[in-house]
Structure 1
């Protein structure tokens, strides 16, 4: 028979309202506070009203088990932080809103949409707002660039541009990419240059047989993940 936490997790769509739990962040926060697994487990148990064995907390930190949304809330309370401090980057409009503790009605009002229209955009994770509504969305939800591009349904288009940029003359793609990715063109320029150089380092010159095949696989893998590498480099620039 499923526990209350299991039922809650299922009703939340497998924790879809929260970004993925990041074990490294949980370890970092706990160690900064100087707390043991036993101390944190006791605090989580007190918050939830259900016992939590320290081994379960250890499993969360090792990535062997994933806590439910309620357990994440309890862990955040035990560690004196917000749930967002234990989670990865939001990937959907729903996750952005949930982290900020806003309701659908509040966001709809602040971006200038009817409740039903915004709720549909969030349900499908497809943004089709006007320029003014989009600006309001950034002010209210502050979606990361990767989240916004995906919500606009332009990830595929971006991948095509990035592949052409890293395999060709990358400066020609700064403006087209900047029209899709909501960051400063100077940041786009720096990231594209880094991506281009990284791809060019995958050198197949003079290699034959298994060596050439290995390089080709590496190059194809790079191109398959080129959008993820863009986001990684943009996050590094922000840091």
Structure 2
């Protein structure tokens, strides 16, 4: 069983998702606790389920699976986005051997990539990775070791002439220029509006606008992923 924090375990538990699923089913904490107890064969008090939903404590992988069974959903419905290649494999329900075969790798090479969370496959293998594991874009970029480079290019794009950065950024993120271009334009416009507010307001308002602009640049890659999610439902299907 993967231990907490194991990069090949499930992604982190998402309390709000669990609470929303239970509310949608109309179940009480007592009912969920009883179902978790039956699944695990170990007593689980309703206060424990409440603590999970409130984010006071986090269930381990076995408890997440028990909670998912109690809520009639997949464990994937109760966790956040995957942040490592190993978590992507676990979410996909594949073994290391199955993953290696699907990607055209030896199992030893895949296990090394998973252990180091570093991806260095060729274009064909990378396409297979995206189709098979469907890693969240931020996870994929991190595994390729290009997060820092992406942030630099994004900052230059939103503060300068964004069209010049469409191709360079498209070579880092797993999206075509037709997706990246419009997203960069929106980010550029959003930042320019913050800059405009900083220059045309009262001193106090200008300082606040400057702080928002600085925060925007600091979190520009997160804004990129938000825009991508809004633009395309399934990133690796190649369709909006």
**Paired residues for 1:8-157 under 5 Å:** 12-16=3-7, 17-157=9-149
**Paired residues for 1:171-210 under 5 Å:** 171-202=163-194, 203-207=197-201, 210=204
C-alpha contact 2:4 2:60 (8 A) present in aligned 1: no
Q: State the superposition RMSD in angstroms.
A: 1.7
Of the structure 1 ranges 85-94 and 195-204, higher mean CA displacement relative to structure 2 is found in 195-204
Q: CA deviation at 1:225?
A: 0.7
Q: CA deviation at 1:226?
A: 0.5
Size of the aligned set, in residue pairs, is 230
SS in 2 for 1:201: helix
C-alpha distance in 2 between matches for 1:74 and 1:86: 11
- Aligned position for 2:225: 231
C-alpha distance in 2 between matches for 1:19 and 1:70: 13
Displaced runs of 4 or more, over 6 A: none
C-alpha distance in 2 between matches for 1:43 and 1:116: 39
- Aligned position for 1:221: 215
Q: Report the TM-score, using the length of structure 2 for normalisation.
A: 0.89
Q: CA deviation at 1:211?
A: 4.3
C-alpha contact 1:15 1:68 (8 A) present in aligned 2: no
CA 1:57/1:97 → structure 2, altered by over 3 Å: closer, same or farther? same
Whether 1:167 aligns to 2:194 is: no
- Aligned position for 1:5: none
C-alpha contact 2:10 2:91 (8 A) present in aligned 1: yes
Q: CA deviation at 1:193?
A: 1.6
